[in-house]
Structure 1
Amino acid sequence: MKTYILSNLRIPAGEDFILEDEIARELHLPSTSFKLHRIIRKALDTRKKDHPIWVFTVELEFYFSPPRHPDLCEVQSLKTVNLSPIFIQNPHPYIIGMGPAGLFCALAMVENGLQPWLFDKGDPLEERLIKVQDFWQKGILDENSNIQFGEGGAGTFSDGKLTSRRNEALTQRIYSELIKFGAPEEIAYEALPHLGTDGIQMIVKRIREYLLARGCKFHYRTCLTDIKLNEEKVSQVAFGNQWQEPEIVILAPGNAARDTWKMLHKRGILLEAKPFALGFRIEQKQSDINRWIYGNEHWAEILGPASYRLACKTGFTFCMCPGGKVIIAASEKNTIVTNGMSFSKRESDYGNSAIVTAVNAKNYGNGIWDGINYQINLEKKAFHPGYLAPAQRAKDFLQNQNYSHSIHSTCLPGIYPCNLNNLFSSFISSCLSSTLKYCNHIFPEFYTNSILIAPETRTSSPIKILRKKDELSSLSASNLYPIGEGSGYSGGIISSAVDGWRLGERFKIR
């Protein structure tokens, strides 16, 4: 039976409705003449202030001939890429890294009867949570187990966004897997799905339990420190002083894996520098954000806290966290890195977003480590005892004025006053200032009562581990497979999970 997609079905928000009745009204048909298969997408149009509109895309089956309608078309199959299988003899391939790329690679492998062994330099999630609290409350940083490293990856302490720019079959598979492990079904069709840090943590634990029950092994506090190559293959890997001989090595590092990148480069694995973006976090009252987006802040009681995404020639907003808080996410001692985090209910009175500008070799040099060194120098320059972050009123930053008034922030563990123009180069400051002004043009008063907290440096990996397009193996070693954000092939939870699953499902026992 053919099915059809109806798009641009617009329904006023805030009104009770039955979706089948709205579809029938739009198509001028009785609701008994079709079957609603599924909601494909549900987005919110807030362009007309104080009149938000739900915009649905749905899949339908008609019991008779479908009607003519400009927004109705026959379903086209989602793009699928069938890559050749990889046959192996050892059922225990090694996966280095327990972020979304590594975990979903393992999930795909167990579908084919494999029992991968997973390794991470950090702790299991329960112990990692304790380490993070010790960092925020006592300033005690464990460089191996923190907001960046440990089971679940860096996304475990974030807003838990599940957005994806790719509408492909694998993306839908990842949503299905997340739902299987406890995510709400709405993530499969909402335009801006999220789980919050608490939702991500719950799912990570359930994935671990599932994999353990199927014979996988988890090795915590086990850091990959070296590899040996022989005839363009990884012949041995070292975890500290212990050498092992896996048949397959899958690298799923995070975007803070600086030691790993340098070790790989030293051993002849081809890498290249890639551009990234940096800047600061802007923190604002959520009630103000709701008013800018909805036209009336009371819409938030019905629709939830509002979010925004803006871009111009000089910069863009990134990883907006409505109803969240700013956190210090350092992974190296005496450095400052900021990020945003929220819980599933997004109940904080404040929202925050990164405001960043793109940087490349023109800004920091052509050497493979120049971008990383640029990040490190900025993170060290921002450091203050107690891991406090430099902060400034947005208006003062734009006027290049020193701190003059008391400022409040949700930032954990805290902030200290600083003229951020002295932290960044004049070029970066100029780009960030122009971006702030653009945002203020879109939403007047955007920066009026806002606080800036710096620096935001880990927007994406500054390194790519080069791999073959179809085989997905390293250009330098045929049994080494780099995946995920830290390898330079994804950016976010869903795209990392897709990259991991795409590789993992190819492995089969010979």
Structure 2
Amino acid sequence: MERQIIRINNIKCKPNDGLDVIRKKISKLLMLSKDDFVFEIAKRSIDSRHKPDIMYIYSVNVLKVSKKSLESVMKKVKDKSVLLTKKVYYELDDYKKANIELSEEERPVIIGFGPAGLFAALNLSRLGLRPIVYERGLEISKRREKVNTFWNGGALDTNCNVQFGEGGAGTFSDGKLNTQIHETTGRISYVLKTFVEHGASDEILYVNKPHIGTDVLAKVIVSIRQEIIANGGEIFFGTKLEKINLVKNEEARQVDSIELRDLSTGKIFTKNAKRVVLAIGHSARDTFEMINDLGICMEPKPFAVGVRVEHKQELINYNAYGEAVNNPKYNLPTADYKVTYQSTCTGTKRGVYSFCMCPGGYVVNASSEENALAVNGMSYSSRAGENANSAIIVTVTPEDFGDGVLSGVAFQRKLEGAAYRAGNGKIPVQLFEDFCNGVKSTSFGKVTPNTKGETNMANLKEVLPEYLTDCLVEGIHGFNRYIKGFDNGDTLLLGVESRTSSPVRIIRNENLYSINAKGLYPCGEGAGYAGGITSASVDGIKVCEAIAKELLN
């Protein structure tokens, strides 16, 4: 659905200005009384080019004007930053709500309860289609206990950890909601609005780089789960997909049933199902192996690997805001960064870039397999930690790791095994100066690790291949032109960052099901169709739409 609005761009305000200041500026631009219109903030970004003079830059939507049409208001406006346009709203009601009672085998089944599975289940439940969700990990309260036990030196549960469980890998992250996909259908705004309805701050609707934080995100996910159940959906935790059974149907194979293991008892049971959403996440390597053995069409895809880097957050704040960080009138957000560099040191151009930057956050042990170690970044909503951390990564392609369908998985496992050995089972950490020199660190400088999970000094050049370590050294030095002090000798490197995205894509057709298994809907990040919480959520919505069209129209 489209709605006519007046969009006003480039409204400049001091960080401590309130909504009353914005309203006055709108009033002046539109030549209206300040009480004659209804508006919403569409976007807010920070302009720190002239620090310490920091400005917030707003875009706003004027939705309604008292006793006047928007067209008549615009006739008097000459400012080019003001335009009459339309805003797209996503309407789930476009898909007729079910007035039918689906049989058990007709009810949609969803494998995985990360963002893609979450939104597929939510929208299917809102349409009255009573989805059934199976997730190998546990609900958040029990999952948090398992993860904290592991971080404190206990055993790893390979089915319930930072990668697997309610909310997916994003639950133990910064909860970033920015995305590279474009808003053309209103689905992105719908995702953000849904998070707000379930407890997130309404700031995520307009800040330039929205985030929730692991603590708030967990509560939001539980609230969404409760709505799904209230709408007639069912969610089973501790239940792992073991097999998909296909039958020949005319010219193609069709999903007929699935076999699942109850991890609490070890027993396997069969569930008849015609429509299965495969929202498995990027770390479900055993599931990739199973569907590859079934002959489901898949292909390897590029991804990126590297390390986490840690700096003092105060260094990042000062780089972003200068002396404005000491202005008591400004309540500036904890600063983040995004950096890219084109490396040429290996004779081949390779991009080196930051990914999933966590202001005031932690580097976490994100392992999901025995004798293997992977790291990720995590922040709480306050972003109040002493250090900033970010993945610094380099893209790798099948030319690097092999063109077999699962060669990327094997490459990840090789790196994670090397990281586990280098850190003797703990997160391997090294000062950047020592990394450049290829020697194991023996002590910390100004930066000490801020981690969830224990660390050990190591030489990360023994973990990553030389062509990647050379690119990382060149790139980190190159980033110093944007952030002074980025390549300080006591900057910390922690490894290995290997789960940036799925190493495979499960190929699907225009109807969003597998090109050689009707009724199997690859979905989200693990299937190779998303890259983060928001894009995975949007893909879950798209798969819901495809199923709804088939069942309801």
- Choose 63-72 or 199-208, whichever is displaced more: 63-72
Task: Summarize the Cα distance change of 1:205–1:370 in structure 2 as closer, same or farther, 3 Å threshold.
Answer: same
1:331 aligned to 2:361?
A: no
Partner residue of 1:145? 160
The separation in 1 between residues aligned to 2:96 and 2:255, in whole angstroms, is: 20
**Aligned-pair CA distance for 1:346:** 1.0
Partner residue of 1:65? 73
**Aligned-pair CA distance for 1:48:** 2.2
Task: Summarize the Cα distance change of 1:386–1:147 in structure 2 as closer, same or farther, 3 Å threshold.
Answer: farther
**Aligned-pair CA distance for 1:355:** 0.4
Partner residue of 1:413? 453
The separation in 2 between residues aligned to 1:269 and 1:28, in whole angstroms, is: 58
Partner residue of 1:475? 515
Partner residue of 2:348? none
**Aligned-pair CA distance for 1:492:** 0.8
Whether the aligned pair in 2 keeps the contact of 1:20 and 1:31 (CA below 8 Å) is no
1:105 aligned counterpart, secondary structure = helix
Aligned pairs for 1:351-500 (under 5 A) are 351-384=388-421, 387-406=425-444, 408-448=448-488, 449-468=490-509, 470-500=510-540
Task: Summarize the Cα distance change of 1:386–1:432 in structure 2 as closer, same or farther, 3 Å threshold.
Answer: closer
**Aligned-pair CA distance for 1:14:** 3.5
Whether the aligned pair in 1 keeps the contact of 2:5 and 2:87 (CA below 8 Å) is no
2:480 aligned counterpart, secondary structure = helix
1:130 aligned to 2:145?
A: yes
* Relative contact order, higher structure (CA 8 A, sep 6+): 1
Whether the aligned pair in 2 keeps the contact of 1:86 and 1:507 (CA below 8 Å) is no
The separation in 1 between residues aligned to 2:8 and 2:362, in whole angstroms, is: 38
The separation in 1 between residues aligned to 2:246 and 2:131, in whole angstroms, is: 21
1:180 to 189, 197, 219: 197
The separation in 2 between residues aligned to 1:462 and 1:48, in whole angstroms, is: 42
1:74 aligned to 2:84?
A: yes
Aligned pairs for 1:189-338 (under 5 A) are 189-231=206-248, 232-240=253-261, 241-296=268-323, 297-298=325-326, 302-313=331-342, 314-338=351-375
The separation in 1 between residues aligned to 2:56 and 2:126, in whole angstroms, is: 37
Q: Deviations over 1:33-88 (max 9, x none)?
A: 85242111111122222122111111124544320111112113439799999999
The separation in 1 between residues aligned to 2:462 and 2:157, in whole angstroms, is: 29
Whether the aligned pair in 1 keeps the contact of 2:418 and 2:462 (CA below 8 Å) is no
The separation in 1 between residues aligned to 2:245 and 2:23, in whole angstroms, is: 61
2:531 aligned counterpart, secondary structure = coil
Unaligned regions of 5+ residues in structure 1, if any?
none
The separation in 1 between residues aligned to 2:392 and 2:161, in whole angstroms, is: 24
The separation in 2 between residues aligned to 1:471 and 1:81, in whole angstroms, is: 20
**Aligned-pair CA distance for 1:243:** 2.0
The separation in 2 between residues aligned to 1:65 and 1:158, in whole angstroms, is: 45
The separation in 2 between residues aligned to 1:34 and 1:323, in whole angstroms, is: 42
**Aligned-pair CA distance for 1:21:** 0.9
Task: Summarize the Cα distance change of 1:81–1:483 in structure 2 as closer, same or farther, 3 Å threshold.
Answer: farther
2:51 aligned counterpart, secondary structure = coil
**Aligned-pair CA distance for 1:382:** 0.8
The separation in 2 between residues aligned to 1:15 and 1:227, in whole angstroms, is: 57
Unaligned regions of 5+ residues in structure 2, if any?
262-267, 343-350
Whether the aligned pair in 1 keeps the contact of 2:174 and 2:380 (CA below 8 Å) is yes
Task: Summarize the Cα distance change of 1:111–1:429 in structure 2 as closer, same or farther, 3 Å threshold.
Answer: same
The separation in 2 between residues aligned to 1:9 and 1:272, in whole angstroms, is: 47
2:481 aligned counterpart, secondary structure = helix
Partner residue of 1:53? 55
Q: Deviations over 1:341-389 (max 9, x none)?
A: 1111111111100100100012111111211111100000011477311
Q: Deviations over 1:128-151 (max 9, x none)?
A: 111001100123100000010011
Q: What letter corresponds to residue 396 of structure 1 in structure 2?
A: D
How much is the aligned-residue C-alpha RMSD, in angstroms? 2.3
Whether the aligned pair in 1 keeps the contact of 2:243 and 2:290 (CA below 8 Å) is yes
Q: What letter corresponds to residue 464 of structure 1 in structure 2?
A: R
2:27 aligned counterpart, secondary structure = helix
**Aligned-pair CA distance for 1:294:** 0.7
The separation in 1 between residues aligned to 2:217 and 2:115, in whole angstroms, is: 10
2:433 aligned counterpart, secondary structure = helix
Task: Summarize the Cα distance change of 1:398–1:386 in structure 2 as closer, same or farther, 3 Å threshold.
Answer: closer
Q: What letter corresponds to residue 19 of structure 1 in structure 2?
A: I
- Choose 84-93 or 210-219, whichever is displaced more: 84-93
The separation in 1 between residues aligned to 2:33 and 2:282, in whole angstroms, is: 50
The separation in 2 between residues aligned to 1:143 and 1:441, in whole angstroms, is: 42
Whether the aligned pair in 2 keeps the contact of 1:183 and 1:199 (CA below 8 Å) is yes
The separation in 2 between residues aligned to 1:348 and 1:46, in whole angstroms, is: 23
Q: What letter corresponds to residue 24 of structure 1 in structure 2?
A: S
The separation in 1 between residues aligned to 2:547 and 2:127, in whole angstroms, is: 7
Aligned pairs for 1:6-155 (under 5 A) are 6-15=8-17, 18-25=21-28, 27=29, 29-32=31-34, 35-60=37-62, 61=64, 63=68, 64-66=72-74, 67-78=77-88, 89-90=102-103, 92-155=107-170
2:389 aligned counterpart, secondary structure = strand
1:138 aligned counterpart, secondary structure = coil
Q: What letter corresponds to residue 162 of structure 1 in structure 2?
A: L
The separation in 2 between residues aligned to 1:444 and 1:160, in whole angstroms, is: 27
Q: Deviations over 1:262-291 (max 9, x none)?
A: 100111110010000010001111111100
**Aligned-pair CA distance for 1:113:** 0.9
Q: Deviations over 1:385-427 (max 9, x none)?
A: 7731111111222343442433620122122112222221111
Q: What letter corresponds to residue 170 of structure 1 in structure 2?
A: R
Whether the aligned pair in 1 keeps the contact of 2:431 and 2:444 (CA below 8 Å) is no
Q: What letter corresponds to residue 463 of structure 1 in structure 2?
A: V
Q: Deviations over 1:86-113 (max 9, x none)?
A: 9994352110001111111111111211
Whether the aligned pair in 2 keeps the contact of 1:139 and 1:386 (CA below 8 Å) is no
- Choose 327-336 or 413-422, whichever is displaced more: 413-422
The separation in 1 between residues aligned to 2:228 and 2:91, in whole angstroms, is: 26
Whether the aligned pair in 2 keeps the contact of 1:85 and 1:507 (CA below 8 Å) is no
- Choose 240-249 or 57-66, whichever is displaced more: 57-66
Task: Summarize the Cα distance change of 1:181–1:340 in structure 2 as closer, same or farther, 3 Å threshold.
Answer: same
- Choose 97-106 or 242-251, whichever is displaced more: 242-251
Q: What letter corresponds to residue 239 of structure 2 in structure 1?
A: T
Q: Deviations over 1:223-263 (max 9, x none)?
A: 11111211211112111332221121111011101000110
Q: What letter corresponds to residue 289 of structure 1 in structure 2?
A: I
Q: What percentage of aligned pairs have identical amino acids?
A: 33
- Choose 264-273 or 44-53, whichever is displaced more: 44-53
- Choose 454-463 or 90-99, whichever is displaced more: 90-99
The separation in 2 between residues aligned to 1:465 and 1:484, in whole angstroms, is: 10
Give aligned pairs, total: 508
